[in-house]
Structure 1
Amino acid sequence: MDPKFLELSLSRGVYEPREDSYLLARAVEEHAFGKVLDIGTGTGIQGITAALKGCEVTFADVDRGALSCARMNAKLNKVDGTFVLSDLFSGVKGKFSTIIFNPPYLESKRVKDIALDGGPNGRALIDRFLNGYKKHLMTRHVVLLLESSINDYEKDVKRLDAKIVGKEHYFFEDLVVLLFR
C-alpha cells in the first residue's frame, strides 16, 4: 500500500503529510508490528499505516486538534485505535512493540508552529524522546524515528546503534528513518 493513497482529512494547525511523512510511513509499513505507539500523531498517517497492517495502535499527540484529526482519519480509513492527549510520553500508559515518531525538527528561530518547532537547536523534542522511550518498550521491540541532516542524525546513528531504513535527499537536507532496538 502506498501511504500517499490513504484518505486523509486535514485540519488547520495540524502538520500536513509531506515527504518526511511518506518516507516514515513506508518504514512503518515494512517494520512496525504488534502494539504500536504513534507519538506526535498529527493526521494519524503513521498509526493508520500500522493499523492497516493489523497492528494495535495508540495515537498520541499534545494537541487536541491533531487528535481529533487523527480520529477522523482513522474512521475514514476504517481502522480503530486508542487516542491519548500526551506531551510525548506524559499521558501514555503501557508498553509497546513499536514506537514511531516524526518529530518537529526545525529550529525555533525559523518557525513559530508547534507542528514544526523543534526548539532552539531543532533537537529539543528528539532529545526528550530519546531520554524517555525505553521505559515504554516491550522486550521484543523496534523504534522508528525520522531525523534530518539539519539535526546531525549521524550522532544518533552511532549512539543508538541504529540502522537507516529509509533515506531521501531534498533541497537542503537529507531525511532518514532510523530503526533501533
Structure 2
Amino acid sequence: MSHQSSRKIVLFNKPFNTLCQFTGEAGDSTLADYIDIKGVYAAGRLDKDSEGLLVLTNDGKLQHRIAHPNFKQDKVYWVQVERIPDSAALAALEQGVELKDGMTRPAKVRLMDEPPVWDRHPPIRERKNIPTCWLELTLREGRNRQVRRMTAAVGHPTLRLIRYKIGQWSLGDLQPGDYSLV
C-alpha cells in the first residue's frame, strides 16, 4: 500500500490572526505559513481572531464527521470573558441562548482557573476596572462565531477564545504554530 492512500490527521495550534485556509490575500497569515503537509484540509473552522486546536485531514469522511453538527463531536473552548458571570448567566449558557439564528443547543460550562497558556500577540485589551475570568465551554454545534455571540448574549463579551479539544483530540502541549501528526 502506498503512502498516498494512508489517512493523515494533523493537530495544529492555530495562532491568533491566522486564517483557517492555505491561501489568502497578500500579507495574510495562513496555514501554509506553518504546515508543509500536502493534501490536508481543515475539518471545521476557527475564526481569524480565535486560537487553538484545528484538526486537518486528507480523509473527506472524517473531515465531514468532525465538522458537521449532526455527529455531535464535543468541542471544548477556553474562553476569557469580561467580568465574572453569575449563576444566572452560567445557567443561560448551559440551557441554550437565543441568538439571531435561533436557540443554541445546551452547552456545558464551568468557571476555571486561568489555563497555562501562551501569551497572545497582541495581548487582549484589558480595562483596569473590569475583572476578567476564564470559562470552559463545551459545545456540540459550531455556528459562525457562536461562542462569542453566546457570551455576549449573557452580558460577558469574549476577550480571548482558545479551542482546546475536538472529540478525542486535544491541544496537549502544542505551542502556537506547531502541529503534530497523529
So what's the TM-score if we normalise by structure 1? 0.26
More helix by share: 1
- Determine which structure has greater relative contact order: mean sequence separation of CA pairs < 8 Å that are 6+ residues apart, divided by chain length: 2
So what's the TM-score if we normalise by structure 2? 0.26
Q: Could you say which structure has the larger radius of gyration?
A: 2
